[in-house]
Amino acid sequence: MLLIIDIGNTNIVLAIFDGDQKIKSWRLETSAPFHVGESGIENIIVSSVVPHKDEEIIKVCESQLDTTPFFVNYKNVGLKIHTDHPEQVGADRLVNAVAVVHEYNQPTIIVDFGTATTFDVVDGEGNYFGGVISPGINLSLKALGEAAANLPTLKVEKPNAVIGKNTVDAMQSGIYWGYIGLIEGNIDRIQKEIGQDCTIVATGGLAPLFAENTDYLKIIDPDLTLKGLVHIHNDMQQKAAA
């Protein structure tokens, strides 16, 4: 059994795979104490963008599962990374790129709705070209509520109209339709810059909400990062066996 751990800034997603089959998945808050509570784990692979959490993960995995986790980074992910500083690219973005190389095998823009909203560009041959990082939707809502004393804190929802007739509706519209514009505008500009149309793959919890009102997000893959980690693990196993 393979345990996958995806450490994000807000949540940690865990999943158990038997081969390519997902057996179960669950999530923890990143700020909470880490625990696993599983058995029968033979291998552990980790994607982390929270370095200060890594040592805790290692200790828990070794003490509870008697297994040392393997951490993915730019050196071992198996991509050709065409950026100025490959070491600065988040492991989750690289893992997503590996997933689309295996799953879609064609030029792709990945839109990931996480703590940040990211756009990443990859071709079908394992070349990662960089991308765009924008503040995440919930992060933007939180900042808006904290910065303006008279504005409420609320969660993102699709508004009934673009023109808000009250403060809450106006904020919802600004965030929702503003991000639709961000998505469509960035995708258009990326495709113009690279001179070709791409497959667009969206992932992250809010992807379906935004896909309802744009034709740009036709493919929603909620397990994209998990799939990428499985592919990396399988590739490593094959190389070790060769």
> DSSP letters along 51-106, please?
HHHHHHHHHHHHHHSS-PPEEP-TTTS--EE-SS-GGGS-HHHHHHHHHHHHHT-S
φ, ψ of residue 141 in degrees (nearest 5): -65, -40
Place of tokens 């879609």: 104
Which residue in the list 6, 20, 84, 92 is annotated as catalytic?
92
Give the DSSP H/E element, type plus range, for residue 43: strand 43-48
Between CA 213 and CA 205 the distance in angstroms is 16
206, 156 contact by CB (below 8 A): yes
127 forms beta bridges with 80
| Tokens at 33, concatenated | 């104490």
Which three-class secondary structure state does DSSP give residue 4?
strand
φ, ψ of residue 116 in degrees (nearest 5): -110, 155
Other beta carbons within 10 Å of 160: 10
- What secondary structure letter does DSSP report for 126? S
215 is catalytic: no
Q: Which residues are catalytic?
A: 92
